[in-house]
Structure 1
Amino acid sequence: MTGREAPAITVAGLRVQFGAVEAVSGVDLTVGAGQAVGLLGRNGAGKSTTMRVLAGVVPPTSGRVEVCGRDVRTEPIEVKRLVGYCPDVGGLVPRATPWEHLQLSARLRRLTDWEPQARDLLERFGLGDVAHRVTAGFSHGMSRRLSVVLAALHEPAVLLLDEPFDGVDPTGVEATMDVVDDARARGAAVLISTHLRDLAVQACSEVSVLRGGARVATVEAAAMAGEEGARAYRALLG
């Protein structure tokens, strides 16, 4: 990203309050086109809430949040068109098959010639054999894999993956890494929330650490690698 290019994701002074609970208390974050950034932190650090705001699911209480120059507060529909979002939990219809999920997504986004891409993603994620089986019987890992497929189908400008590696087998991890690489190669911005530090280091160029709803540091991903990175991470968590 050059100095003249606006970031694909801009978060400045984000605060999100649910009643008396402040889930996010001051997050600043930028992600440029072609960049992958990881969000690390303990449960309750504000990672998923930040992702939900960027996806247009939860409104910000205050602060500035933009996706490709679109304000999530005033242009939520446009933001949702630009984003591919894998939520941390839920998002699937138990009585629908993976193929029906993909059909619905394609219809809502008015995609044409989407079927080859859908079949390729299902095969890459090891879901080809269960494409016409209802998701009610899926394991947690299978559901995670399908959620990433749905997020990636329309090749969005911004890819938001919330805990995409949770409970996922090596095939799913590798396929997710490939999706991230493909997105970056075509100039998309990627934000990955995960509690798995090693995978964040592998997938991302930078890592932002959240603690208590606020960002405490943004560092090169390599600084979080290995035993030295583990010590640095524990120090940031306090």
Structure 2
Amino acid sequence: MPVVDVRGLHVRFGQVEAVAGIDLAAYAGQATALLGRNGAGKSTTMRVLAGVVPPTAGSVTLAGHDLVTATLAAKQASGYCPDVGGLVPRATAWEHLQLSARLRRLTGWEERGRDLLERFELGDAAHRVTGGYSHGMGRRLSVVLAALHEPEVLLLDEPFDGVDPIGVEATFEVIADARARGACVLVSTHLRELAIQACATVLVLRGGSRVATLDADAMVGEEGARAYRSLLD
């Protein structure tokens, strides 16, 4: 059974249909990419899965919980890195971790928190307010916060945006660690090469609709790039 099961998802904002009937199934121990250009519906879909935006129509089940009728339980089972925002400018990175741990009633989280900060080269900046962080540092901290409690479902929305190679590699490691413990991982990105490195399955979105579901191997190299471009035309 899929850990994330989306059927006929529609999301409308007034007259604009941001998501137009997407179906999605993602499984334990696997990483799935949502790939497409800006405006394809990737982030809106991720926001629905995170319980931030309500679906207009369709059904969404996450870790066995209906996202509409059991929203809190679904949120408790997930960790979410939003595409923008999510950080408190006057709080330090360590204070963000403390708040996340307190809200989720975590115990013994400090060692893992320090390890994640060091892995993402944020150890020296742990006690600096995030308002002084670069864009890339903020993205890295958002991934740390999403992964801290080792969620059953890890949702990473544009985690590679503006991130240097060290941050990209650390994100790959977080994804691999999550898969190894049986978590379901979804990654949205517009970067084809990073999507196929991080994930085994790729859903290509265009104009709010899914146009293809492919094995990542089918999108490798120049031939894969041509196949991807043809799906976006």
Aligned twin of 1:176: 171
Q: Supply the distance in 2 between the matched residues of 1:17 and 1:161 (Cα, whole angstroms).
A: 22
2:61 to 63, 66, 78: 66
SS of structure 2 residue aligned to 1:160: strand
Write out per-residue CA displacement over residues 42-77 of structure 1, whole angstroms, 9 at most, x where no aligned residue.
111100000000000000000011101111111110
Question: Structure 2 CA distance, aligned partners of 1:164 and 1:199?
Answer: 10
Shift of 1:225: 1.1
Q: 1:190 aligns with which of 171, 182, 185?
A: 185
Tell me how far apart the structure 1 counterparts of residues 173 and 39 of structure 2 sit (CA, whole Å). 29
- CA–CA distance in structure 1, aligned partners of residues 196 and 135 of structure 2: 23
Counterparts of 1:68 and 1:152 in 2: how far apart (Å)? 16
| Identity among equivalent pairs (%) | 74
- 1:72-95: CA deviation from partner (whole Å, max 9, x where unpaired): 111110111000000000000000
Distance 2:17 2:66 in 1: 21
For 1:77-226, list aligned pairs within 5 A.
77-226=72-221
Deviations 1:25-48 (A, max 9, x none): 010110000010001111111000
Question: C-alpha distance in 2, partners of 1:87/1:118?
Answer: 19
TM-score between both structures, scaled by the size of structure 1: 0.97
> Pairwise mapping of residues 44-63 of structure 1 onto structure 2 (< 5 A)?
44-63=39-58
Over 4 Å off, 4+ runs: none
> What is the distance in 2 between the residues matched to 1:52 and 1:76?
13
User: How many aligned positions are there?
Assistant: 233
SS across alignment from 1:172? helix
Alpha-carbon separation, structure 1, partners of 2:114 and 2:49: 28
Say which SS state the counterpart of residue 101 (structure 1) adopts: helix
TM score, norm. by length of structure 2: 0.99
* 1:9-24 aligned within 5 A: 9-24=4-19
Unaligned runs of 5+ in 1: 1-5
Q: For residue 176 of structure 1, report the CA deviation from its aligned partner.
A: 0.3
Report the CA distance between 1:224 and its aligned residue: 1.0
How far apart are the structure 2 equivalents of 1:168 and 1:32? 27
